[in-house]
Amino acid sequence: MCQRKEGLSKCGRCKQAFYCNVECQKEDWPMHKLECSPMVVFGENWNPSETVRLTARILAKQMHPERTTSEKLLAVKEFESHLDKLDNEKKDLIQSDIAALHHFYSKHLEFPDSDSLVVLFAQVNCNGFTVEDEELSHLGSAIFPDVALMNHSCCPNVIVTYKGTLAEVRAVQEISPGEEVSVWPAAAGAVGFRLRFYRAVWKIPCGSAGQDGLGVSPAAALFPASGLAG
């Protein structure tokens, strides 16, 4: 994924996708073809959420039986969904996402049954990552199955950073052999909403954050302007 912001070329049809060169455009076509025609048809009314767009791409990849490179250790279908821990409000949000998925992608995707879609959206919500650049500017959402193996903690020992389409796991404290690797839950999405979401779903005792000798919670250390502390 090229992160260059200048000198980009538009997709000749939809005018909404930008590429640094022809090779980049060809490489993206298997995924962009899901959206190119709908972008033209819906025009200004094209507004699926990032979660819906990400789920559509997952469904497109699942049409092929072989695992992707990032699924060597864990396939998306094996993700935890924590469906039993979702309240009615979050279940309603999933139903809204399913409706949007059908609305924008029905001509280009085959969908599983409704129950399977509910599970898939719950899996994406639990395991999706917000991709950011070095300045923590939002770039998009993604799924990294291998990285999703890590549990969440308000006192994590690693953080996730990004280099193009790669997710890099970096230690923020010494990790002993055999010690569990954990990541801060807000790494999986926008700070405010996602932090509240994961606190509610996993019952994380965030009041303990910052009591491990660091003096400040990972939330405050990584996002000092957000005002979030454990």
- pLDDT, tens digit only, all 230 positions of the chain: 556 667 888 999 999 999 988 898 999 998 899 999 999 999 999 999 999 999 999 999 888 777 777 777 788 888 989 999 999 999 999 999 999 999 999 998 999 999 999 999 999 998 888 887 777 777 888 888 888 888 888 788 888 888 877 888 889 889 999 999 988 764 444 444 445 444 545 555 555 443 333 333 433 333 333 333 33
Is the distance from CB of 145 to CB of 205 less than 8 angstroms?
A: no
Q: Which domains are assigned to the chain?
A: 20-130 (1.10.220.160), 150-230 (2.170.270)
Token look-up 């491990």 returns: 212
Secondary structure of residue 35 in the 3-state scheme: helix
d(CA 127, CA 105): 22
